[in-house]
Copies of this chain bind each other. A is one copy, B any other.
Amino acid sequence: MPALRYELIKTCAKSGARLGRVHTPHGTIETPAFMPVGTQATVKGMTPEELKEVGAEIILSNTYHLFLRPGHELVREAGGLHGFMHWDRPILTDSGGFQVFSLSKIRKIKEEGVTFQSHIDGSKKFLSPEASIGVQNALGADIIMSFDECAPYPCDYAYAKRSMEMTTRWAKRGQIAHARPDDQALFGIVQGSTYKELRVESAKQLVDLDLPGYSIGGLSVGEPGEIMNDILEHTIPHLPKDKPRYLMGVGSPDYLIDGALRGVDMFDCVLPTRIGRNGTIFTANGRIIVRDAKYARDFTPLDPACDCYVCRNYTRGYIRHLFKTGELLGLRLATWHNLHFLLSLMKQVRQAIREDDLPGFRERFFRQYGYIE
């Protein structure tokens, strides 16, 4: 029995958006879904119970970080990531590819794999397609990623082509190395930078491998939003309808809605948690910076339209005080609300698809949020 099954419930009559369910060994995810990021086996500042309360059905964790600390063998001994971190719902791990290129000093990229320096202690480390899958087999996430090279932006055509082709070869090697296909669904990652023909070629090559799902990587790395949407429109039609599509590293409200409109099923991003810890808050009327002096005597909720635990019980003035005095609770409350905001947004997106009106929802949301006048 395969580790993952995608169930298509319906497609929006007015867009490419689709409502579905992803069934995994640890439960079912309603899609389109946003996945909070728990880099080091914890979504910063949140307990698993709180993640459930804000509506998280799946979280993402990072192979690169866990490979370095505490080490995947230790996590395996602890009963895998689920047991280690006390989270019993689905988990997705990335391959470590993106972090090797973004966080560490690269020593050498070869066909065999990548030798790099740990960003923690500078020690020499090696990850290959086989090693990445081996680490992910030890971590035990429900959904795992093929090792890929995430090309930088901008990137010339020749480099992007070589890189994309190597990523396909790495996907094949990972598929062969994968030791737990019945427990863990291996996704391939479509690359090809901003070149549509490379994206199409990448999608076709990976679809030939008949993997249980497909990720779209190398976007939201600095390119304008229109390029990202354009690439999605040219890539997604080449992905199978009966498998989930995951757009990596995307988490701003506009990108989530625009991705869903084009048929994306899954998203992840550190944005809500990272900006939250910095005192930046999502509201129905756009972002606010709650540290600002103007909120000192504002005894209304972070987002008056929100019904989350934070907005029901605390005020902007109090949360500003927590940030100004460096109190941990400030980070917690901001993170909590921001995650609730995005997960609630995804619920609204799913409802809009159910009602065949995601474009109408987009228009209303964008106008209130301030994306459009």
Q: Which residues of A does B touch, CB under 8 Å? A: 40-42, 44-47, 65, 69-70, 74, 77-79, 84-86, 296-297, 299, 313-315, 317-318, 321-322, 324-325, 327-329, 331-332
Contacts and interface: CB of A to CB of B under 8 A. Distances in A.
B318 A41 contact: yes
B45 A332 contact: yes
A57 B327 CA distance: 22
B78 A313 contact: no
Chain A contact surface mostly = loop
Contacts of A65: 325
B313 A86 contact: yes
Count copies of this chain in the complex: 2
19 contacts: A40-B321, A41-B321, A42-B322, A45-B332, A47-B332, A69-B321, A70-B296, A70-B321, A70-B324, A74-B296, A78-B299, A78-B318, A79-B299, A84-B317, A86-B313, A328-B328, A328-B331, A328-B332, A332-B332
Nearest to A70: B321
A42 B296 contact: no
Contacts of A329: 42, 44-47
Nearest to A326: B40
Nearest to A71: B296
A27 to B, nearest CB: 18
A327 B77 contact: no
A229 to B, nearest CB: 35
Nearest to A318: B84
A238 to B, nearest CB: 39
A74 B332 contact: no
Contact of A78 (B41, B70, B79, B315): B315
Given A40-B325, A78-B318, A79-B299, 20 more contacts: A40-B321, A41-B321, A42-B329, A44-B327, A44-B328, A45-B332, A47-B329, A47-B332, A65-B325, A69-B321, A70-B296, A70-B317, A70-B324, A77-B297, A77-B299, A78-B315, A78-B317, A84-B315, A84-B317, A84-B318
Contacts of A46: 329
A315 B86 CA distance: 9
A297 B74 contact: yes
Contacts of A41: 318, 321
A77 B300 CA distance: 12
A265 B86 CA distance: 38
A16 to B, nearest CB: 38
A313 B317 CA distance: 34
A315 to B, nearest CB: 7
Contacts of A40: 321-322, 325, 327
A329 B315 CA distance: 23
Contacts of A313: 86
Given A70-B324, A324-B70, A85 B332 contact: no
Contacts of A79: 299
A46 to B, nearest CB: 7
Contacts of A321: 40-41, 69-70, 84
Contacts of A315: 78, 84
